[in-house]
Structure 1
């Protein structure tokens, strides 16, 4: 009996994969055709809390509703946005309006101001929230300006953050079809993000703590790598720690980046989940290569010194494809608040690879 050629045996598998990819692309296209909500102004409510979000961005402030394929803007702009968090807010949630915005039930904007430059904004930020360490948040793929501002406000409210905070809003397409576009935007933004970090740490005793999500982790690592290659150890020495949440980075690339940086800022934490469906799709789009945010074994980062991996798979609640579990799952928020308290108190006894559950 004549054997069946391997090429013919493979065809059903190829067709299955092709169908899955087609369904994924179709789903992404349908999502892209749906209107994205934008932050809206509304009168304040006496029981709501206000989070003032300082922002550095390349986006044109008169055109924040960017569309996939637009020319990337040049030059940094600086502003703040006052975000009202409603008294009915539930941890992990961003309460978008379902009708006319109402500060009693919804996240809304109650004020904003554009600054003439970094110095003016940083002066205003330090007068309002004194402190030498600034939390810098870098959002991920498929984020609009509104998404990023509201998410940072939610995080600050839920984790009780009171010190200086700054959002770096890089020019994501804000469109699920724009994965490759966003990866290029990360490379486009490395120099500008480096300028922001230099501005925030211009005074000798100023420090930053970097918090990045998804593809924003790539931007952070590339910027730190560039600083190391320039020999800018002064900037690297002013970074008090790094947290990468669900990092959308090829683990091999991360190894090369970490090697170039050398001694990594401490603490250096990576939050991973094997149930992160967004990163599973990113792996498919990247040649079926798993992403850093889905690793499940400490051996996968063997030889990289100074990195602690926190596996939060068990804390996922399905929200947002489990791609933001660390800040959207109420269980994860409670566990991580406890860990932050321990780090603040100087605890250093965390394992290099920790698997968390709701009882941790």
Structure 2
């Protein structure tokens, strides 16, 4: 059952992962050769089920699906902190942009599978990193959206990781047809995510993996982890999974997490009770409660969370205009928590202290 057309349209407007900041529709990933003192270079390794773009060199990968996993690497130049608002992406008005004040693509290249593995090893060695982080984006993301958002997340959070993006073929459009399309594609993307995790897990340069998903990307992540567990397999280096604003039915989530058994990685939920996007997603999906906007102190959520030993971070108190992307905008939430724990060698579930943002 769907909500009324007016509610559905409103839902799709606010379900977008990225901010409403205007950005170029083409050419974003065309590299710029201009170097600026104080700018930061953030390399993002990519595994994607998108097809190569045939119409826009600056798109790199399109919204069309591919039957095979493709690989790449994009290095994003982020302007000095004094010239930008931390927690935001400064899109250029027109590519390639000004690296003094804009996010700019410093380099972009396609890789084959072997080159992808070598790039992980090289980056881990060059940056003295033994931990990888795999990020799964959500609904309404173009490829360049996902790359720039992840670069912002890693940079502003000062995360000591090898960053790897899993990009699935979201349509990158906010309309009812695209939402239904994206959900269908998400439900078909668990297998390639498992394949990517296996590739990262087998890399000798990686000692530990953290998996972070956002919104509809958490549906893919849940499916991949459940699929792996149901087949009796494990991803031995995967230690932490962070579900950020998950657009997933709560009962489905708890059921599948429970079926993974005790060998599953530690799991953290990052939610906001005022997440309007997820409340509207609930309406579109026929009234099923979404994990990302529950009140964790109410039943039946409280008991179910305790039974599954999930760590919950309630970000409601942080405020801001966009609760659905709050975790990426606020340095004190997901980014700050992950930076502190990864830097100290801790896992998601090791800190049992009660803080303002953790329950």
Normalization by structure 1: what TM-score? 0.82
> Do 1:258 and 1:264's aligned partners in 2 also have CA atoms closer than 8 Å?
no
Q: CA deviation at 1:326?
A: 1.1
Corresponding position of 1:197: 197
Larger radius of gyration: 1
Map 1:53-92 onto structure 2 (within 5 A). Answer: 53-63=44-54, 64=59, 72-87=65-80, 88-92=83-87
Higher RCO (C-alpha under 8 Å, 6+ residues apart): 2
In 2, the alpha carbon distance for the partners of 1:343 and 1:331 equals 17
Q: Which residue of structure 2 aligns with residue 182 of structure 1?
A: 182
Flag the 1:167–1:338 CA change in 2: closer, same or farther, 3 A: closer
Q: Aligned partners of 2:183 and 2:293: how far apart in 1? A: 19
Aligned to 1:11: none
Query: How far did 1:122 drift?
Result: 1.9
Conserved in 2, the CA contact under 8 Å of 1:53 and 1:149? Answer: yes
- Contact 2:24–2:92 (CA under 8 A) maintained in structure 1: no
Deviations 1:100-120 (A, max 9, x none): 511111001011121121x32
Number of matched pairs? 332
Question: Which whole-Å deviations, capped at 9, do the CAs of 1:272-317 have from their partners, x for residues lacking one?
Answer: 0012121111111111222100011243152442211110001131
Per the TM alignment, residue 169 of structure 1 is displaced from its structure 2 partner at its CA by 0.4
Tell me if 1:317 matches 2:320. yes
Counterparts of 1:71 and 1:166, CA distance in 2: 21
CA shift, 1:355, in A, is 4.9
Paired position in structure 2 for 1:21: 7
Q: What is the alpha-carbon distance in structure 2 between the residues aligned to residue 27 and residue 230 of structure 1?
A: 38
3-state SS of 1:121 partner? helix
Q: Relative to structure 1, is the Cα distance of residues 121 and 268 closer, same or farther in structure 2, using a 3 angstrom cutoff? A: same
Match of 1:123 among 113, 118, 121: 118
Mind listing any 5+ residue stretches in structure 1 that lack a counterpart?
Answer: 1-16
Would you say the 8 A contact 2:269–2:312 is kept in 1?
yes
Show the counterpart of 1:173. Answer: 171
Match of 1:162 in 2: 160
**Structure 2 residue 149 is matched with structure 1 residue 151:** yes
CA distance in 1, matches of 2:60, 2:68: 18
Corresponding position of 2:284: 285
Partners of 1:283 and 1:99 in 2: how far apart?
A: 37
Residue 125 of structure 1 and its aligned partner are, at CA, apart by 2.2
TM-score by length of 2: 0.82
Q: Deviations over 1:74-121 (max 9, x none)?
A: 11111100100011232211001124511111001011121121x321
Q: 1:336, CA displacement in angstroms? A: 3.0
Counterpart CA distance in 1 for 2:335 and 2:190 is 33
Higher mean Cα deviation, 328-337 or 96-105? 328-337
More off after superposition, 195-204 vs 296-305: 296-305
> 2:98, 2:317 → 1: CA distance?
35
Structure 2: segments with no counterpart, 5+ residues: none
Cα offsets for 1:27-73 (capped at 9, x unmatched): 68xx99x9864524333323211101100001122244888xx7532
Question: Whole-Å Cα distance in 2 between the matches of residues 283 and 256 of structure 1?
Answer: 18
Q: How far apart, CA to CA, are the structure 1 residues paired with 2:190 and 2:334?
A: 30
| Partner residue, 1:107 | 103
Label 1:150 to 1:342 Cα distance change in 2 as closer, same or farther (>3 A): closer
Structure 1 residue 189 displacement after superposition: 1.3
Contact 1:48 1:84 in 2 (8 A): yes
In 2, distance between residues paired with 1:316 and 1:121?
39
- In 2, the alpha carbon distance for the partners of 1:241 and 1:23 equals 35
Q: Please give the per-residue CA displacement for 1:209-229, whole angstroms capped at 9, x wherever unaligned.
A: 101111111111100100111
Give the helix-richer structure, 1 or 2.
1
